[in-house]
Structure 1
């Protein structure tokens, strides 16, 4: 397994298995090893991308800023806030947002935002410009459009880390056709650096790493 992981993400042995881990309070019943907690790739698209050795461009550290779209109750974004700097977590549904608030209580770098990722103007006054990474896991139609609309926050040298859920776009179509359409739409604003199926951990999902096109 590659050692090219963000600072603050390490491999530890949990219950006899070598797994990714971050240092922080447990959130979703994951195994722990002292201050370290396992990062479950079957519950995290970004965790799956790291396990599959995709080149995410994440470096970790207090200076790295992240905008996370589709934070839900905090399963993945809690790991991000464990190793990165200011992490803005956008979630639209009120019930998981309440859990997200609890997750953020012990993470001063995690900033929950009850907002719709399809309407970035509603949180533009909070999120700083030029974030280092956008992590997107939004189960909705128009996933490429969400990434395009939130491009405004991303540094010119930043990275988009997008998990495309084919069944959320159109449950009747072949996932490969859905993925092709999403990629084509993204290319209006992004250069796709890597795309890989996450099938080992998540059915009908595509992981994409992209950087903004020069303006």
Structure 2
């Protein structure tokens, strides 16, 4: 049975095609109908996780830390239905676009920071219910471990593991096994699923911090 979508995320029809959607200001040329904006799973790893029916545990109004926000495609949808949303992005160019996205959302707070150095934003970010991770760097499990400190209580890590960012020459399945094994030192992994056909060589991971 497919888990329910969080409040604020709906299955909606756009020109005869049904997809997931949120209510908010359009940001990246996505289909809209004046009320809803399509959450394109081809442009969003978290969107792909939801479209594939993964049980993310997302709920409306949750404080969220988003690592690897880029220009704001996915984090804009998260902020549409979430609570305070802290968006960490390392590269200045996409961070400028992220500022424009935040201009339409009072609960979205861009941070020009490196997700590998959470000490640089620990004084700003409150405890959160969700950490969404979409970083294109080697050592993705380490990034998740370093940012575990922000997860409150029974929080969730929702990560998109990029095989080619870890090792462009290795077999993706072997990379996924190694990253998940490393994650298990600090998280209980609840679910994993390849993000095909939306994102090749990516693995969606749902986990919660070990006590």
TM-score range, shorter chain: over 0.9
Question: Can you give the 5+ residue segments of structure 1 that lack an aligned partner in the other structure?
Answer: none
Among 95, 98, 114, the alignment partner of 1:116 is 114
3-state SS of paired residue (2:42): helix
Question: Can you give the 5+ residue segments of structure 2 that lack an aligned partner in the other structure?
Answer: none
Alignment partner, residue 189 of structure 1: 186
Q: Is the aligned partner of 1:170 residue 2:161?
A: no
In 2, Cα distance between equivalents of 1:98 and 1:7: 29
In 1, Cα distance between equivalents of 2:175 and 2:3: 32
Runs of 4+ aligned structure 1 residues displaced above 2 Å come to none
In 2, Cα distance between equivalents of 1:100 and 1:183: 30
Alignment partner, residue 158 of structure 2: 161
- Note the aligned Cα RMSD (angstroms): 0.9
Alignment partner, residue 14 of structure 2: 14
**Is the CA contact (8 Å cut-off) linking 1:41 and 1:47 kept in structure 2?**
yes
**Is the CA contact (8 Å cut-off) linking 1:23 and 1:35 kept in structure 2?**
yes
3-state SS of paired residue (2:179): helix
Among 130, 137, 140, the alignment partner of 1:140 is 137
3-state SS of paired residue (1:76): helix
- Number of residue pairs aligned between Structure 1 and Structure 2: 211
Matches within 5 A, 1:9-48: 9-48=9-48
In 2, Cα distance between equivalents of 1:40 and 1:6: 16
In 2, Cα distance between equivalents of 1:55 and 1:5: 9
Give the TM-score normalised by the residue count of structure 1.
0.96
